[in-house]
């Protein structure tokens, strides 16, 4: 959804209205709608999206990686839009690291507003990533919060890891620090899928070997094509 300037211009040329207004005219905007990127929306688009209850998915790493631009997230939050974080695909974000996307999405928008009281706090960022994410994919009745009756989706972090010390504000360190290798355990719907930093559902050694072999095969094919 309006990830690039080109998409913005094409929408204006084709429909003579914004892409957001066009989607609204088609009846496509509702609380069940998630709009990824939305970099090239304007104030009128934000107001329209707010009235429909649709969600914006912020992909900050991808947007910077591809030079797409900077989404107006602070304005969106001020308009009470539901916003959550995404990584986008591996082809446009070299690292599928949600914590990286959360950190960058939290601090990137300080350049657009000099008033620190309008900035995204670590607490707000976590709320966007959990509650906002569940709402954006229509699962807020099942996940996104730790409460009785909700699915047991849990992540435990190792607060003794050097990147999480000194333990002055663990939540701030988790969002704004460099929390590498701090995931201790993970449960999805009550099933443990990671233990002591080790994934239980995938043979990671075999996967890494397959990736290394794939790289070697590509290099061999390039060599044969060049000198064959």
Whether the CB-CB separation of 72 and 112 falls below 8 Å is answered with: yes
pTM for the model stands at 0.86
Q: Where are the beta strands (DSSP E) in 59-182?
A: 82-85, 154-157
Whether the CB-CB separation of 105 and 120 falls below 8 Å is answered with: yes
Mean pLDDT split into 10-residue runs, the chain, 228 residues: 94 94 96 95 96 95 93 94 92 87 93 92 95 95 94 93 87 85 92 93 94 90 75
Choose among 18, 84, 4, 13: nearest CA to 47. 18
Query: pLDDT by residue (tens digit) across 129-155?
Result: 999 999 999 999 999 999 999 999 999
pLDDT at 71: 93
Residue 146 DSSP code: -
Query: pLDDT by residue (tens digit) across 108-127?
Result: 999 989 899 999 999 999 99
| Both tokens assigned to 59 | 């992909």
Sign of CA dihedral 168, 107, 86, 36: positive
């Amino acid at each position: 959804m309006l990830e690039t300037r080109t998409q913005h211009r094409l929408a204006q040329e084709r429909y003579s209205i914004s892409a957001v207004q066009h989607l609204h005219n088609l009846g496509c905007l509702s609380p069940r709608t998630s709009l990824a990127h939305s970099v090239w929306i304007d104030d009128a688009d934000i107001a329209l999206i707010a009235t429909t209850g649709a969600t914006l998915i912020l992909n900050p790493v991808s947007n910077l990686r591809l030079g797409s631009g900077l989404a107006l997230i602070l304005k969106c939050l001020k308009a009470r839009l539901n916003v959550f974080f995404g990584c986008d695909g591996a082809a446009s974000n070299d690292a599928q690291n949600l914590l990286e996307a959360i950190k960058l999405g939290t601090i990137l928008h300080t350049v657009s507003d000099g008033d620190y009281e309008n900035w995204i706090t670590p607490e707000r960022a976590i709320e966007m990533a959990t509650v906002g994410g569940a709402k954006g994919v229509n699962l807020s009745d099942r996940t996104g919060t730790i409460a009785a009756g909700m699915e047991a989706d849990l992540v435990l972090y190792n607060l003794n890891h050097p990147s999480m010390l000194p333990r002055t504000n663990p939540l701030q360190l988790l969002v704004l620090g460099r929390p590498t290798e701090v995931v201790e355990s993970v449960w999805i719907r009550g099933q443990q899928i990671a233990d002591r930093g080790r994934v239980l559902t995938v043979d990671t050694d075999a996967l890494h070997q397959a990736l290394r072999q794939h790289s070697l095969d590509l290099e061999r094919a390039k060599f044969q094509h060049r000198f064959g």
